[in-house]
Amino acid sequence: MIPQFRAYPQGNASTRLIQADLRVCSGVDICQSMLDTPSNRPALPAEIARRRTFAIISHPDAGKTTLTEKFLLFGGAIQMAGQVRAKGEARRTRSDFMAMEKDRGISVSASAMSFDFMNKGTNFRFNLVDTPGHSDFSEDTYRTLTAVDAAVMVIDGAKGVESQTQKLFEVCRMRDLPILTFCNKMDRESRDVFEIIDEIQENLAIDVTPASWPIGVGRDFIGCYDILRDRLELMDRADRNKVSESIAIEGLDDPKLAEHVPAALLEKLREDLEMVRELMPPLDAALMAEGSLTPIWFGSAINSFGVKELMDGIATYGPEPQIQSAEPRQILPEEPKVSGFVFKVQANMDPKHRDRVAFVRLASGHFTRGMKLTHVRSKKTMSVTNPVMFLAADRELAEEAWAGDIIGIPNHGQLRIGDTLTEGEAIRVSGIPSFAPELLQGVRAGDPMKSKHLEKALMQFAEEGAAKVFKPAIGSGFVVGVVGQLQFEVLASRIELEYGLPVRFEQSQFTSARWVNGDRQAVDKFTEANKQHIAHDHDGDIVYLTRLQWDIDRVDRDYPDVRLTATKEMMV
């Protein structure tokens, strides 16, 4: 059964979703009519409308990176998908490009990939961002989510909703991102499907509608019934890089079902689907666009099963490039002039060249190589002569890019997280936060003669957003702040690998840091009186280092004109 979509109120009363009947639409028309397009806005140019920019989020080990690999496989970007835990070359996943990621089989840095995907005669451009699942790297993930229009949430069929999934989901909720869900590892022993859906609805407070339904579980898992298109999808366990076999079915009473599905499983499938249609809402594009409903697909990423259906879902139901919030006005994707913002900086992606690449999400316009763009923070014009498109660490020169795309701009430190690039207009993209660190440690170079090198390395990582680096007003040395303990290990390993500098982190007397805001005179008086607690971050902003909560309470009491904040907007 294919759901019919009615007009739903969205925002104010004058804005209505265009009515869509999926039976008469095809290709981009589906997306055009289904998406949350207010009637007073023109349709997007075809090149922009075919873009889908999304992030993959999940708890560590739910199968995010494996799913990314299969996306690339089905998009035709790679010939053989790497696995995170495998032998030899098969283990080299594309999205984990750092030495540490390859060794440990975890993602510690967000990576971007662009590739084409054919769906119903339309060639879509997918811009996919694989994010670290580990909570110690949540700030990188948070910033990444400011650069995408939708998120794919991966859930482990045996474990359901885990703690990190919940945290990342809260971030998506704050940004009203539409979410598509993929329940992975169905070929292993997993929980009851209704139980998983129930848990998502209760823990994440979002309605769920199944887009497919698993047949069997664990060893008995043979495939899925595609609810949206009335098709039977069968899994091939022998070849992991093969697209599943698809059989057209005329409803659940079709005799063809009995030829492929064992009687006991078929009976259970019919019972389950009857309950689904009675109890669960149909897929409604308006509710999905506002983030209150998520469609769920079931499958097994490692066996390439269910992935193609999920990609079809992203193409059909995923949002086109959206309006970007900025100061003093919003940026519309269809504007002819180019604008974009830096959401991530990655140093030393290629250790052979001390390079630094700024990841830029284009918010509007049609960008071409060699364009001159204004760097809004410094008011300088920069010529973008060698922009790159990514396939994780592999990159190629980008001759052109459109709103929705993610490009890399190699630079020597001019571009920082939160910077906006435009064709002259002074607009600044807002909403990219920097969080106060939760752990602070002092850092020393193994060789005291190399402290200058250490300063350079630390500043580079601070600009990348990998850590906060504070220079205390009194004494020498630096205090490094991070969100989680694992980040210290990653930093030490990267400084040694990329700069040839062994370093050691040591206990600091301080436990947290707050940015100091307020009237200039009040701040000067405050810093003069509290010199032993004052430091500056890599942007030169004043930071108050604290030992106890009492320190913060004391400032609130004694200096009413000074504000201490735990976040800083990364917009200079």
pLDDT tens for each residue of 516-566: 988 889 999 999 999 999 999 888 889 999 988 888 889 889 998 888 888
pLDDT of 136: 52
State the Cα angle at 19 between 16 and 24, rounded to 5°: 160
Pairing of strands 356-364, 439-445: unpaired
Which tens digit of pLDDT belongs to each residue from 193-235? 889 899 888 888 889 999 999 888 888 888 888 888 888 888 7
Confidence of residue 75 (pLDDT cuts 50, 70, 90): confident
Cβ neighbours, 10 Å, residue 123: 12
- As a whole number of angstroms, the distance between CA 531 and CA 188 comes to 58
Quick check: 398 and 388 in contact, CB under 8 A?
Answer: yes
End-to-end CA distance of the chain: 52
pLDDT at 515 over 80: yes
- As a whole number of angstroms, the distance between CA 80 and CA 217 comes to 27
DSSP bridge partners of 545: 513
pLDDT at 90 over 60: no
pLDDT at 373 over 90: yes
Which tens digit of pLDDT belongs to each residue from 19-73? 233 222 333 333 333 344 444 567 888 889 999 999 888 777 777 778 888 887 7
Average pLDDT over residues 329-336: 91
Quick check: 153 and 161 in contact, CB under 8 A?
Answer: no
Lowest mean pLDDT among 7-21, 52-66, 344-358, 417-431: 7-21
pLDDT of 33: 34
Q: Which residue reads 């957003």 in tokens? A: 465
Altogether, the residues listed in the chain come to a count of 572
The Cβ-side half-sphere exposure at 458, using a 13 Å CA radius, reads 29
Which tens digit of pLDDT belongs to each residue from 228-284? 888 888 877 666 666 666 777 777 777 778 888 888 888 888 888 888 888 888 888
Amino acid at residue number 442:
G
- As a whole number of angstroms, the distance between CA 465 and CA 415 comes to 12
- As a whole number of angstroms, the distance between CA 104 and CA 81 comes to 18
Average pLDDT over residues 103-128: 72
Confidence of residue 106 (pLDDT cuts 50, 70, 90): very low
pLDDT of 203: 84
Cβ neighbours, 10 Å, residue 507: 8
Confidence of residue 134 (pLDDT cuts 50, 70, 90): low
DSSP bridge partners of 543: 515, 535
Cβ neighbours, 10 Å, residue 128: 27
pLDDT at 295 over 90: yes
Give the chain's mean pLDDT. 78
Surface-to-core class of residue 484, CB atoms within 10 Å of its CB (0-12 exposed, 13-18 middle, 19+ buried): middle
Quick check: 349 and 378 in contact, CB under 8 A?
Answer: no
Q: Which residue reads 């899994």 in tokens? A: 235
3-state SS assignment for residue 321? coil
- As a whole number of angstroms, the distance between CA 441 and CA 545 comes to 12
- As a whole number of angstroms, the distance between CA 529 and CA 526 comes to 5
